[in-house]
Amino acid sequence: MRVAFFGTPAFAVHTLQALLDAGHEVVAVVAQPDKPAGRGQELLSPPTVVLARAQGIPVFQPTKLKSGEFPPAFTALAPDVAVVVAYGRILPPPILATPTRGCINVHASLLPRWRGAAPIQWAVLAGDEETGVATMNMAEGLDTGDILLVERTPIGPEETAGALFERLAPLGAALLVRTLARLDSIVPLPQDEGGATYARMLDKEMGKLDWALSAVELHRKVRGLAPWPGTVCEHAGSVLKVIGARVAEGAGEPGTILPGARIACGVGALELVQVQAPGKRAVSGADFLNGARLKVGERLG
């Protein structure tokens, strides 16, 4: 099958490689433009572009999808199907209408729950016990198309969004290959609009820990916002990164240090498993509190 692939980050690389391994003809890879990265701010190509060039696949990184050179170039590719995995932009109707067998999206949630930009993180933030990946026929709305196939998986009680990304990427790749193989026999299932929720984009402000929240909520934040934007709390005028934590027993004024590197929360306590002070290496919560000479009964933040 002639496949046009839309995808940008590392999450999408698994599906692109799976398409190649399954023998599909990938006629082009469309990704976001190169972006500056690192201290030198050198332009860095997206992971999908790196793989495409290594395989000799034509690459497009358009800044515009509705006008300019890309629309006619895409039409000339004459793809049977377009596959979209974390591309980062909404495809306009003319692009959606070009592939003869439609456009298929691989989405990392159990649709219609967590439509949008950050479904994996929001599943953890919300305390969902399971998530998964879904393939769907693309429509003009945001992740509103009919469902083709779904693969479910439980979310571990200590699993971070980053770890979940690593598990869901190959699941999505395998699901897409199965979807293409069964494309003639799958009966698309309309989404239940009553169950729709939206996973809005993340920002750094979300990472600030408020000890007045419950330990369960804060634990979800630490896990759901790892590795980006991460979670932080203020201490002595600087920002302390909280890399790992777990729910623990304990009570006290929110922010109060309890024995065992625990911090009192609005309900319960949060044990600091791993933290990092500015310019320092990551250490255990106990080592940080000892090094900062913070004692039980004092307040963090």
Answer yes or no: is 39 within a domain.
yes
| pTM as predicted | 0.94
Contact 48, 76 (CB under 8 A): no
pLDDT digits (tens, 9 = 90+) for 56-97: 999 999 999 999 999 999 999 999 999 999 999 999 999 999
Answer yes or no: is 223 within a domain.
yes
Percent of the chain with pLDDT over 90: 93
Q: Quick one: 147 and 279 in the same domain?
A: no
Q: Quick one: 242 and 173 in the same domain?
A: no
Q: Quick one: 148 and 51 in the same domain?
A: yes
Identify the domain boundary among 165, 199, 233: 199
Q: Quick one: 121 and 7 in the same domain?
A: yes
Q: Quick one: 283 and 173 in the same domain?
A: no
Answer yes or no: is 166 within a domain.
yes
Q: Quick one: 87 and 158 in the same domain?
A: yes
Identify the domain boundary among 199, 218, 250: 199
Answer yes or no: is 301 within a domain.
no
Q: Quick one: 243 and 182 in the same domain?
A: no
Q: Quick one: 176 and 233 in the same domain?
A: no
What CA–CA distance (Å, rounded) separates 114 from 232? 25
What is the domain-level CATH number for residue 230?
Answer: 3.10.25.10
Range of the domain at 160: 2-199
pLDDT digits (tens, 9 = 90+) for 100-119: 999 999 999 999 999 999 99
pLDDT digits (tens, 9 = 90+) for 273-282: 999 999 999 9
Q: Quick one: 191 and 216 in the same domain?
A: no
Torsion sign, CA atoms 262, 267, 268, 273: negative
Residue 280 DSSP class:
S
Identify the domain boundary among 158, 175, 199: 199
Contact 125, 201 (CB under 8 A): no
Torsion sign, CA atoms 246, 11, 232, 237: positive
Answer yes or no: is 112 within a domain.
yes
Half-sphere exposure of residue 39: CA atoms within 13 angstroms, side-chain side? 0
Give mean pLDDT, residues 176-202.
97
Q: Quick one: 259 and 115 in the same domain?
A: no
